[in-house]
Every structure is written in C-alpha cells, then in structure tokens.
Chain A
Amino acid sequence: MKSTTRRDFLKMMGMTGAACLACAAPLSASTGPAGESETAIAMLYDATKCVGCKACMAACKRVNMEQNNLSYEYLPTDGDKLWDAPKDLSGDTRTVIKLYKESDTRFSYVKHSCMHCTKPGCVSACPVKAMTKDPVTGVVAYNKNACIGCRYCQVACPYNIPRFQWDKALPQIVKCDFCKDTNLKAKGMPACSETCPAGAIAFGKRTDLLAEAHNRIKENPDRYIPKVYGEKEVGGANHLYLAAFPFQKLGLPELKEESPAAFSEHIQHTIYKGFIAPVALYGTLAAIALRNKKKQEDLGHGEDD
C-alpha cells in the first residue's frame, strides 16, 4: 500500500519538476529581442552636443509638476530657495543631467530618464496594469490610479528609472512618459526636446532616429564611440544615446541583449499555460487524497468519535 502511494507522490513530484524544468529551456523565438514597431516614437540624446544647461530639467519639472505631484529640491546652502538642484532622478525629478569628468579638458554630460524599453520590465512586473506600453507609440506610461505602490517595477527596471516618493504619505511612482499627457499632447514633443537650446535631444520616429544616429557615427567617427546605446540593450529601447565615452562611464549599465522580462514571462507562461498544470495538479492530488482518506476510514479511524 505504501509503495503505491509513494509512486503516486513521485509521479506528482515529477510532474511539478517537469513543469519547472521547462523553465530552463532556451527562449523561444516569440519572446526573443523583438524589434520595436514601425510607428514607435523615440528620443535621441547626443551627449556630444549637450552643453549641460539643464534647461530640459527645468522644463520637465514645470510641465509635469502637477500631474506627478513633484516638488523642488533645494540645496541646504540655497537659503533663498532659488534653484531646483536634484542630485539624481527621484520622486520629484523625472529627468536629470549629470556630468562625467575624465580630466579638466575631457568631460561629458549625460541625461538620465526612462528608456521606454521595447520589452519593458516594469510593464511585465506590474500586477495591476499601472505600467503600460502603448502598442502604437511605444511610450511606457504610469497610471497612478491603478498603482498599488508595490515597487516591483523598481526591482524589475535594469536602469533603476522608476522612482518612488518615499517621504510622502500618499506616494506615487515617478518616471518619464515622453510628456504623453502634457507637452506631447499640447505641442507635439516632450518638454525637454522642445526646450533644448543645443539641439542635443532629437525627437521623432524610432526608425528615423536610429538611422540618423548611425549616420552621425559614420560621418564623424572621431567624435563618437561606434555604438548607439538603447538600440539592443535588453531587447532595445525608445531612448537612444550617442556619446564620446563608453556608456558605462556615463553611468549607463552594460546590459545583455536578452530581456529578463521576456525570460520571466516565458517561464511563467510555460508553467501556467492555459492553467492546465495547476488544474491537473489539483485533480491528481485530489484523487490521491480521496483514495487515501477512504483507505484510512476503512481501517476504522474515520468514525471513532
């Protein structure tokens, strides 16, 4: 009697194991690094053109202040509260210009904001559809009315872009959405791109900008390192970078072409495809348990009270 039930148990364990082993299978073609759609809009930031004036930061905060409940971040030395001086992206700042300095003559500015990934981790992670990717424009946007504030999007983002309002009782997640509901709607382009006096932030269709980026590298091979950041990172992004320095030095992480989000979904969908495995597991377990219970009752232990 015991040996058959043990066999049943092993069978059940085998089923679960097989489902889990399928996880280790390589990515299927459908979840591989997908190309962004033809209609996707994008931003091309050319670090070699940026003069570090931070006008983009000011415009971004002015335009999106109300929507995201943003605040100004003053330095302790700024008693008159004249300058918004964020050190980094934060719950109050959707974009930031930073300086990378190699020597007194060799330096570069770099702009940080959401990469609007082709296969965004935040969208894949969010349990309540608060992070969404527009199938036409490719914009990754945040909906505070659905968000539960679990911060799984922050765990999932390889660029550490989504920020949380840690010091607010009613906090939000803050990140760039290409001014989807503000400047893009009103003026056809994000506030940073509209404001930039140096022409460092180009805005348009992704396919055009990607061609433009490669063209700039081809025409000025001395000016750029031969790579467009955002073209292939974790499956590609709608925010593209050109720079004179290796991107890692500018604080942009070196990432593989595979998207962890795609891998995670692949595993989850393998286990839960059509909800067959859980139902089968329940059915098998119920059959075994019922039989065991009956056996036990036949032994006379069921009606002893």
Chain B
Amino acid sequence: MGSHHDEYQVQPGKILTRPFFILLFFVLVGLALIAYRFFAGVGAVTGLSDGYPWGIWIAYDVATGTAFACGGYALALLIYIMNRWKYHPLIRSAILTSVFGYCLAGFSVMVDLGRYWNAYGFFMPSRWQGNSVMFEVALCVMSYSTVLIIEFLPAVLYTLEHSKWKWVRESSHWLYARLIPDTDALRNGLTNVSKAAGHLQVRLDKVLIFFIVLGITLPSMHQSSLGSMMIIAGEKLSPLWQTGFLPLLFLINCIFIGYSTVMFESILSSFGFKRAYEVHELSGIARIVPWVAGLWMAIRFGDLIWRNQIPTILTFDKNALFFLLEVLLIGGGAFMMLSRKNRLSPRLLFLSGALLMLGGGLYRFNVYLIGFNPGEGWSYFPSVAEFLITVGIIAIEILGYLTLVKIFPVMPNPKKHFAEEGEEMVEETAGQVAPGGVYAGK
C-alpha cells in the first residue's frame, strides 16, 4: 500500500458530530467501570465464577473481535498472494479496522487479567512456556498488533508530510502571547517533521512488503491457535465443538469472516458517509465467500459425522439449537452470494456480510462460552457492568475509525477508482475537459 497514495482520500467532514458524542458517552461509561474494576476486583464488575472463568471479554472481545478484525488479513491474502490488485484501494480501511480490533482485544485482556502487573513475563524468556497455546496466541497477537500499526503507518506519514499544520498554527496563534514566543522556530520544527515523515516514508515503502507478509503469517498462526486454546478444556466443551480440527476450523472461519467484514463495513461506511458503493470490488470478494464458507462447512460436518455427533444435534437441546443457528447463519449468508445478481446488490452484500459475521462469530462464541459447561451448579450471564465495558470498547473502535478516516487518507478514492477502469479513455478526454474539468480536479 506504499506508493499508491492517490488510491486513498481523507474523508471530508467535521469530526465532532452527533454520533461522535454519543459514542464518546459509551466510551466514558466503559472507562469508568474499568477504573472501578481495578479497585474492586474482577468479580465486582462481572458475572464470572470459578466454573466460568472466562466471559464475554474473552469470548467476544478477543476470540470473536479479532476475527471481525481479520479484514486486513483476508484482503492482504487476496491482493498480495492471489495477485488481485484491484482490491488494493479497500485495504487501508480494512487495516484500520484491524488495528482497532486487535489493539482493543489486547486492551480487553489487560482489563481481564487478574495479575496484570505480571504481564511483563511474556517478555522474559525464562518464563516462556512453550506448551501453552495461550503463550503462542499472546506473543502472536502482540506482534501482529505492532505489524498492523506499521502497515497503517504510510497513511500517517503521508498526512504528516503533506499537512499544512493548520490546527497547530491556529492553536499556537491562540497561545501566542503566553507560551509560543517564536513562530519561526515552530514553523521550522513543523517543516522538519514533514520532511522527516517524507524521508521515512520512502524507506518504509521499500521494506513494507516484508511486514505485509508477516501480517499474513501471524494471523494464520494465532487464529488457528485461538481454536487450539479450547482443546485443553476437554470434556467441558460440548462434543459439538470439541475436536482436533478446532485450529483448522478457526483459521478458515476467520478468512470468511474477514471478507464478510470488508463487505459489511464498506457498504455501511459508504452509506454513512454518503459515498458511492464499491459494488464492483465487493462483488469480486463476495464471489470467494461461498467457497471458503463451503469448505468450512464441509470440514465441520465431516468431523461431526466422523465422530458420530449427528445424534447430538438431533436432541435439540440448548447446544444443538445454537449449533443450528450458527450453521443457518453461515449457510444463509454464503448461499446468498452464489448468485451473481445478488452480488451486485449493495443491500444483499451488506446482509450477507452481516449474516456471515453473526454466524461465524457465533461459532467462536459457542466454542468459548455457550458450548462450555464446567459441570453442575455453575452458570454464567454477563453482568450489566461487564456488558457495558464491552460496549465501551466497541464504541472506542467505531469512534476511532470515524475520527481517523477524517484525518488520514484511508477511504478508497472514487476518482482514482473509476479512472483505472478505462485509463486510455480518460487520458484522451482529459485534454478536452481540462483545465477545470472532472479529472483534472484537485
């Protein structure tokens, strides 16, 4: 994504909108409850118990949330490995979603950890425990979060390089009399920052591909390991989900969830920002989805048949119903995208994306929570505070996304987009239309 800066644009519009303040309210409520948790203990804000030591913070924020954040991974796989560069304009917004998804999953874990002050143990080789699946997941997720930030860096550097620093100048003007006596020094400093950003950008461009590949390898590792995590729960996890295929199922699951998230998010943000829908690109992505989801479904059912678990489904107990819901959502969402006509409808692209996210997410939720039964006498339902903390974290993600797309060039540039379709034609007409014509516009 290095040198293609004109593929992206800063979303115009005010940052401090009404949705901004509504989201901010939920963020502040969440943060206040998190602060309370650090004084009163994990038990004071959650419905957790010794039988259900993990609740929605792990099942949603980490296990499901990181799958929703796999858009960057799934798109990178498509662009760089399958050589489909036409999807390139979509990647920055996907990466930005991934940055928030992963960083906030890490943040949720720090809230959830009982003895968080010992977390530095992950950086001490003497404490590394190679048999632990969580050890692998933790290191991998931390590395991947760093890689994602590096992958997003070109957008930040571009803004730093080209910024007119209007905001800084205005506020320094306001402070002038008291604090900033030397506008020249400030101007020089800002110019240097811009220069340095431009300098760094060129260097980063050359090595970025190696980070991008790392950004494909790491999720392949930890997304499968997120599945392996629950193997050790043994018979506590219902046989509908407990299988040696958990790592493979989690890996494929995150790929189709990744594409669904791109579909869902692209349509939603186009709708919200009143931009043209990227139907052309999205329909291409949507074409892949039924195959990935179909492969997942085949392994899922093959495994259940192999382990003689079909009768378990036919009991129609709570677990079986959640299993059926999961399969129906995924199957429905994937089936819809088999038809070419449906793939060209923004409404159905959105619906299919949403169904696949819900179904794929429910699969993970089932593995971590609903299918988990520690034995008689235990029950779990998230407390209000626990739920509000998760809502607060989701609010941070949306708020961050809405704000950063208005600061950095993240959204696909529609002009560049359509220009690529018929490049020759554009060049021909450009002479006639310009100056002041459509394509010569700034």
Interface residues of A (CB under 8 A from B): 1-2, 5-6, 8-9, 12, 16-17, 20-21, 23-24, 89-91, 121, 123-129, 144-152, 154-156, 158, 160, 162-173, 234, 253, 255-256, 260-261, 263-265, 267-269, 271-272, 278, 281-282, 285-286, 288-290, 292-293, 295-296, 301-305
The B interface is mostly helix, strand or loop, or mixed, namely helix
* Contact sample, A vs B, 20 pairs, CB 8 Å cutoff: A5-B83, A20-B247, A24-B245, A121-B232, A123-B131, A148-B121, A167-B40, A167-B43, A170-B115, A255-B234, A260-B231, A260-B233, A268-B136, A268-B225, A281-B217, A281-B220, A286-B210, A289-B213, A289-B216, A301-B4
Contact of A144 among B115, B228, B248 (CB under 8 A): B115
* Shortest beta-carbon contacts, A-B, top 5: A149-B114, A166-B43, A260-B234, A149-B115, A20-B248
Given the contacts A147-B115, A289-B80, A271 and B247 also touching, CB distance less than 8 Å: yes
Could you tell me the distance between the alpha carbons of A171 and B118 in the complex, rounded to whole angstroms?
12
A302 partner residues in chain B, CB cutoff 8 A: 3
Q: Give chain B nearest CB distance to A148 CB in angstroms.
A: 5
The answer on a CB contact under 8 Å between A156 and B244 is no
Q: Which of B10-18, B46-54, B268-276, B386-394 contacts A (4 or more CB under 8 A)?
A: B46-54
| New contact pairs (16) apart from A173-B114, A301-B85, CB-CB < 8 Å | A6-B82, A151-B53, A155-B230, A158-B234, A166-B42, A260-B234, A264-B232, A267-B228, A268-B136, A271-B247, A282-B213, A285-B80, A285-B217, A286-B213, A289-B80, A289-B216
The answer on a CB contact under 8 Å between A1 and B245 is no
**Total number of B residues with any Cβ neighbor in A under 8 Å:** 73
B374 partner residues in chain A, CB cutoff 8 A: 160
Contact of B231 among A147, A150, A267 (CB under 8 A): A267
Contact of B51 among A156, A160, A267, A304 (CB under 8 A): A160
Given the contacts A285-B81, A293-B80, A20 and B116 also touching, CB distance less than 8 Å: no
Contact of B50 among A150, A154, A167, A170 (CB under 8 A): A154
B232 partner residues in chain A, CB cutoff 8 A: 121, 124-125, 155-156, 260-261, 263-264
The answer on a CB contact under 8 Å between B216 and A285 is yes
Could you tell me the distance between the alpha carbons of A152 and B127 in the complex, rounded to whole angstroms?
16
Interface residues of B in 192-249 (CB under 8 A from A): 209-210, 212-214, 216-217, 220-221, 224-225, 228-236, 244-245, 247-248
Q: Give chain A nearest CB distance to B45 CB in angstroms.
A: 10
The answer on a CB contact under 8 Å between B53 and A155 is yes
A170 partner residues in chain B, CB cutoff 8 A: 115
The answer on a CB contact under 8 Å between B248 and A128 is no
The answer on a CB contact under 8 Å between B113 and A167 is no
The answer on a CB contact under 8 Å between B134 and A264 is no
B234 partner residues in chain A, CB cutoff 8 A: 121, 158, 234, 255, 260
B297 part of interface (Cβ distance < 8 Å) = no
B427 part of interface (Cβ distance < 8 Å) = no
Name B80's closest neighbour in chain A (CB-CB). Answer: A289
A163 partner residues in chain B, CB cutoff 8 A: 50
The answer on a CB contact under 8 Å between B118 and A20 is no
